[in-house]
Structure 1
Amino acid sequence: MNKRYYHYSEEPDIQDFKPRISPSFPDEPPMVWAIDADHRPLYYFPRDCPRIAFWENEKTTPQDIDRFKLNTKMVIIIEEGWLGKLEDAVLYEYTFSGETFRCFDENAGYFTSMSSVKPDSVRRLDGLIHRLLMEGVELRWVPSLWKVKEDVLASSLAFSMIRLRNAKY
C-alpha cells in the first residue's frame, strides 16, 4: 500500500504541482513539496503565519518535557496577531499517492518529488483550531516568537520552525 502525502494551500484549484525552488532551501533543485500524515498539523495555518512547533522524541529529556509543559502530542505556538486570521482561515488539502516522493527531512515530515504531480484529491478545510485540537495539538500564542525560538533551539525537543521570516521583531 502506498503512503499518502499532503500539501496545504489557500488556492482551491491546483491541477498540477510543478517542481519549484523552496525559499527555505534555495540551494536544492526544484521539487514538489509535501508532508506526511503525522506532520499535517504543522500546515493547518494560513501560509504566511509564522509558527514554532515542538514535540517529544527519543532525545527529549524529562526536564524539557516539564519546562515546556509538553502534555500533548505536539505544541504549536503562533504570534497573537495571527489568531484571528487562523480562526477565519480556509485551506485546501491536496492528497498525493507516494510513488514519486522521497523523504527529504524525517524530523519535519518533508517529502519531495522531482517531477510534476497531480493530486489524487482535494478537500476544503475550515475550523482549523478545532482540527488542531482533534489531532492532539496544543495551540499557544505569544506576542513574539523570537524568545521561543531561542528556548526551543537550546532544548532537547524535536521541533519545526515555519515562516519565521514573517515573525515580529
Structure 2
Amino acid sequence: MLYHFSEDPGIEIFHPRQSKSFPGLPPVVWTIDREHAPHYYFPRDCPRVIYAKPEKASGEDFGSFFEHTSADKVIAVEKAWLERIRETRLYKYTFSEEPFTLFNQTAGYYISRQEVRPVKVEPMGDLLDKLLQERVELRFTPSLHPLRNRIIQSALDFSIIRFGNAAPENVP
C-alpha cells in the first residue's frame, strides 16, 4: 500500500498536478511508501530535516548523528511548530500500488500520471502519538539551519522538507 497525507478529509479523486520541486516532470499524483510515511505526519508546511541510520553503522557521520540514540531515523522540527503539530487534523489516504511507479527509492516516492481514487481515508489522530509509535526520534530545535548545513555535507540518506518555511537563520 501507498499513502498520501492531507489536511483535507474530502478528496475523492487525486488529479495529477505539476510539481514545484520537479518542474521538468509532467503532472503526477504523489504517494509515499510505508517506510517513509512518518516524514509526512506533520502539517503540510512544517519544515523538517530527516536523516536515517546508514546500513553500515560506522564512520564519522554515524558517530556524529547516531551515537546517542537507538532510533533508526531522526526527524528534527523547529520548536515554533509544536502547537501547530498538536492542533493539525491530518488524514491518511491509502492507495493500491497498481497505478503507481517508483520515482525515488531513497525518498520512498511513487507517482502516477493518471487520476487515482484512494482505497480509504482515515484520520490520523494525535500526530505526536503516531510519531512516538514509529522507530524514530523526534527532536525539537530553535533552528533547523545548523542541522541542515551539517547534514547536507554528510554521507547519510536525508530528506529536507519545506525548508523554505523554516525560520530565518540567526545572524550574529
Contact 1:52/1:162 (8 A) holds in 2: yes
CA distance in 2, matches of 1:66, 1:88: 35
Asked whether the equivalents of residues 74 and 137 of structure 1 are also in contact (C-alpha less than 8 Å), the reply is yes
- 1:61 is aligned to 58
Aligned equivalent of 1:144: 143
Structure 1 moving runs of 4+ over 3 Å:
58-62
In the alignment, which residue of structure 2 is the partner of 1:102? 101
Check if 1:131 corresponds to 2:130. yes
Between the aligned partners of 1:65 and 1:130, the Cα distance in structure 2 is 27
Contact 1:60 1:156 in 2 (8 A): no
- Residue type matched to 1:162 in 2? I
**Partner-residue secondary structure (3-state), 2:36:** helix
* Counterpart contact for 1:59–1:156, Cα < 8 Å: no
Tell me the distance in 2 between the aligned counterparts of 1:125 and 1:110. 20
For residue 101 of structure 1, report the CA deviation from its aligned partner: 0.4
Q: Offset of 1:133 from its aligned partner? A: 1.3
Mean alpha-carbon deviation: is it higher for 132-141 or for 61-70?
Answer: 61-70
TM-score normalized by the length of structure 1: 0.94
1:19 to 6, 16, 19: 16
For residues 17-48 of structure 1, give each alpha carbon's deviation from its aligned partner in whole angstroms, at most 9, with x where no partner exists.
00001111122110000000100000000000
Between the two proteins, the alignment pairs up a number of residues equal to 166
Name structure 2 gaps, 5 residues minimum: none
CA RMSD, 1 decimal = 1.3
Between the aligned residues of both structures, percent identity stands at 45
**Paired AA for residue 26 in structure 2:** P
